[in-house]
Structure formats: C-alpha cells, structure tokens
Amino acid sequence: MSHITNRLMMLLGALFVASILYASPAAAQATRTWISGVGDDVNPCSRTAPCKTFAGAISKTAAGGEIDCLDPGGFGTVTITKSITLDCRETEGSILASGTSGINVNGANIVVVLRGLSINGAGTTPGTYGIHVFQAQSVTVEDSYIFGFGSGAGRGISVDTTSSNVQLFVNNTTINNNTGGGIVLQPSAGFSAGADLNNVRLLGNGVAGLALSTASGATALSATMTNSQIAGGGVAGASGIVAKAPTGTATIVIKSSSISGNPVYGINSNGAGAAVRVGDTAITNNGTALNAVNSAKLESFGDNDVTGNTSPGAFTGTISHS
C-alpha cells in the first residue's frame, strides 16, 4: 500500500508541475503584440492570431513592449498606465473618440511612444482630448493626425499632469480643428512640463495653436518649436502662440516657422514669468501680431517677417543668436 501511495503522490506532483509549465506561456505578457481590423481580443495578440483593439492588446503586452498594427483599422480608445509603444506607421491605426479621450496616459515615470495614428474626435458627441497626459516621464507623438475634438476642453494634446514632470515630443504631426486648442501644457501646482515640436502643423484650432500656462500653479514650462506652422484659419477667438505665466515661468523658443491667420494674437506673452523668443519666422495676417503684457518678454532674433497683420504690435527687445 505504501509503494502504491508513493507512486500516486509522485504522479500527482508531476502533473502539478506540468500544469504550471503549461499555464505560464499563456499567462505571460509578450514584448511585441499585434492588432488587426479583423482580429479578436480573445486571441493571444500574436502575429498569426492578432487582437482587435489597443485596449485588448495592452493587457497582453509587457511594460516597455510594443503593439504593432498589421493592417488599417479602427482600434478603439485606450488608457496607458505603463511604458509602451503603439506603432502603426506602416499602415493606419485609427481611434474614434466620441464623447471621450482618444488616449489617456497615466503612469508614474512611464515612457510612451505613439506613431502613425489617426485620432478623431468626431461623433454624436465630439471627443474631449485627442491625447490627455495625467502623468508620465515622456510622451512622443510621431507621424500622426489628431483632429475634431470639441466637447469639454476640446484639445488635441493636453498635458495636465497632477503628479509628475512630463516631457512631450511631437514630430511630423498635424493637429487641427480642436475647439480648445492644439497643444496645451497646464500642469497642476508644483509640477513642470516641456515640449519639443518639429515639423508640426497646428491648424484651425480654437483658443490657441500652442499654449503654455502656469495659471494652475505649475513651476516651469518650456517649449521649442522648429520648422512648424500655426494657422488659425480665421477661427474666432484663436491665437497662435500663448505663454501665460502669472507665477512660475513659461518660456517658448520659435525658429523657422510660420504663424498666420489668427484673429486675436499671433503671439501673446502674458505675465512676468512669460518669455517668447522668435527667429526666422513669418508672422502674418493675424489680428495683433505681437502682444506682450504684464511685464512679459517677447524677443526677436532680428530676422523675422512681421507683415499683413491688422496691428503689428512690437517685440520687447532683440537678442543675439549666440
């Protein structure tokens, strides 16, 4: 009897170990997963059995991993809480965000990369944010199109971080027709944010194409914009660039760009902590081209073209390129 019992126990033990080994691959998260317009979220998100949505794939993707698009499709809104890359550059990954945000980013010290996305706020109820950043270390947006957000804040990209300092990188991206602004940095009290924009088109957005504000108590905001275009398209109440710093600092450097067609201001620098520096940039066909108030700085590198505006306004000073 003892011999039989021992063999039975050994058999049960072997079956237990085998069950663990069998279950582990299914439970593990992959470094790279795949989605498809004809996928299914019950799948493991492999290349041969892709998932259907970003939300379905993200739970099966390891932190620091990547979700790739196999073919064009509408892949749904998503909340990101870990470092990850969403890459649809070789095709088109679409997000339709009716009455909500397209992408929420909310994870301490995470690094998020978004490529090749079309984020559309259209719907019975327009969307609120294309990309809404609550907390992160950095968010990179490349080769994307964000448009049509018109409910609530109605912003293309909004950095409203409440618990971390954030760096935003935007490259080769169009952000247009958002009622509350193209790109807005307005963190909570005690936090800072920065943005680096290259080859970015901010078109037909309400309020401002690019706005930095310390009104909520942020300590330091900064942005650099190069080889880019801000065109208001005559949208009522729109300005091109806004730096508002009643407290803290908001600093913007603009190089080799154009700012046109904004009915209110081309550039509005407001507050003792606001400083905007502009070089090799055309500022044309705006309401007031240059507006600096409340001890703000609005400085020129001396090589700008300010023409065709209802009122030219004036730079507060000239600085060298050194």
Q: 34: Cβ–Cβ under 8 A, 6 or more apart, which residues?
A: 45, 46, 47, 50, 51, 57, 67, 68, 69, 70
Per residue in 40-74, pLDDT (tens digit) is 999 999 999 999 999 999 999 999 999 999 999 99
Task: Report which residue type is found at 75.
Answer: F
Per residue in 172-188, pLDDT (tens digit) is 999 999 999 999 999 99
Spatial separation of the C-alpha atoms in residues 14 and 62, rounded to whole Å: 30
Q: 19: Cβ–Cβ under 8 A, 6 or more apart, which residues?
A: none
Residue 47 carries which DSSP code? S
Spatial separation of the C-alpha atoms in residues 96 and 124, rounded to whole Å: 11
pLDDT of amino acid 103: 98
pLDDT of amino acid 84: 98
Per residue in 184-202, pLDDT (tens digit) is 999 999 999 999 999 999 9
Spatial separation of the C-alpha atoms in residues 183 and 174, rounded to whole Å: 11
Q: Which residue has the tokens 């018109």?
A: 150
pLDDT band at 292 (very low <50, low <70, confident <90, very high): very high
pTM as predicted: 0.91
Q: Does residue 1 surpass a pLDDT of 50?
A: no
Nearest by Cα to 120 from 142, 93, 141: 93
pLDDT band at 5 (very low <50, low <70, confident <90, very high): low
State mean pLDDT over 119-130. Answer: 95
Q: What share of the chain in percent tops pLDDT 90? A: 87
**How many alpha carbons fall within 13 Å on the CB side of residue 212?**
33
pLDDT of amino acid 20: 41
Domains and CATH numbers, the chain: 2-318 (2.160.20.10)
